[in-house]
């Protein structure tokens, strides 16, 4: 059976974007309503879920790697309590000026998540809330979903150099769609046999 993989950005997809530019402490991390349940549904459907996120606030000295790790562990515990399982969380903590190969929109974090192995990701979804996320997903060969609950608030995308494959209000609606797609592919495969 083919392994189902999905990539999620963090800020603006799983948790609300903070009023300031970064989540610098645990108190600033607020789950978007429905996100925990949506991740639980993906896990129950057999998806291997990876979080792929730029966190240059560490590189800028706004918060420490230790604080980022504490926020991540708390997030993972809450998701697990809600029935979800995250296979891996991959952060780029470098600043934009450092031009790191793992900083989105480059695909280094996806390559790390895949253990460096070349994988055909054309049936894999990358869900994010920015143009950078869509570029990352497309660069890795994924289908892309833009959610409008983060930095991007409408579907105009004026001035963007890319277009997502799909647009949904939030992670819950995106997961509804992904699971419907999976169900229809499974039915087609049963018919072929």
What is the per-residue burial (b if ≥16 Cβ within 10 Å, else e) of 18-42?
Answer: beeebbbeeebbebbebbbbbbbbb
Q: Is 170 considered catalytic here?
A: no
Q: Is 9 considered catalytic here?
A: yes
Task: Report pLDDT digits (tens) over 86-100.
Answer: 999 999 999 999 999
**8 A C-beta contact, residue 31 and residue 78:** yes
Q: What pLDDT is recorded for position 35?
A: 98
Q: Which domains are present in the chain?
A: 4-192 (3.40.50.1000)
Task: Report pLDDT digits (tens) over 9-25.
Answer: 999 999 998 877 899 99
Q: Euclidean distance between the first and final Cα of the chain, in Å?
A: 14
**8 A C-beta contact, residue 57 and residue 63:** yes
Q: What pLDDT is recorded for position 148?
A: 95
Alpha carbon separation from 80 to 37, 67, 87, 163 (Å, rounded): 10, 20, 11, 33
Q: What are phi and psi of 146, to 5 degrees?
A: -100, 130
- Check 11, 129, 133, 170 and give the catalytic one: 11
Pairwise CA distance, residues 82 & 15, whole Å: 15
| Tens digits of pLDDT across the chain (193 residues) | 467 999 999 999 999 988 778 999 999 999 999 999 999 999 999 999 999 999 999 999 999 999 999 999 999 999 999 999 999 999 999 999 999 999 999 999 999 999 977 788 999 999 999 999 999 999 999 999 999 999 888 877 888 999 999 999 999 999 999 999 876 655 454 444 4
């Amino acid at each position: 059976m083919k392994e189902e993989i999905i990539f999620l950005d963090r800020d603006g997809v799983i948790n609300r974007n903070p009023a300031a530019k970064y989540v610098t402490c645990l108190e600033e991390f607020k789950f978007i309503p429905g996100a925990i349940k949506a991740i639980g549904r993906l896990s129950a459907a057999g998806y291997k879920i990876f979080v792929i996120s730029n966190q240059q606030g560490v590189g800028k000295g706004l918060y420490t790697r230790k604080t980022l790790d504490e926020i991540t562990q708390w997030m993972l515990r809450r998701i697990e309590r809600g029935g979800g399982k995250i296979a891996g969380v991959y952060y780029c903590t470098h600043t934009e000026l450092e031009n790191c190969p793992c900083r989105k929109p480059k695909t280094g974090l996806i390559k790390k998540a895949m253990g460096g192995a070349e994988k055909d990701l054309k049936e894999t979804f990358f869900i994010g809330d920015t143009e950078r996320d869509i570029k990352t997903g497309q660069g890795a060969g994924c289908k892309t979903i833009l959610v409008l609950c983060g930095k991007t608030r409408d579907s105009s995308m004026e001035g963007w150099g890319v277009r997502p494959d799909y647009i949904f209000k939030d992670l819950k609606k995106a997961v509804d769609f992904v699971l419907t797609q999976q169900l229809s592919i499974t039915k087609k495969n049963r018919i072929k046999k």
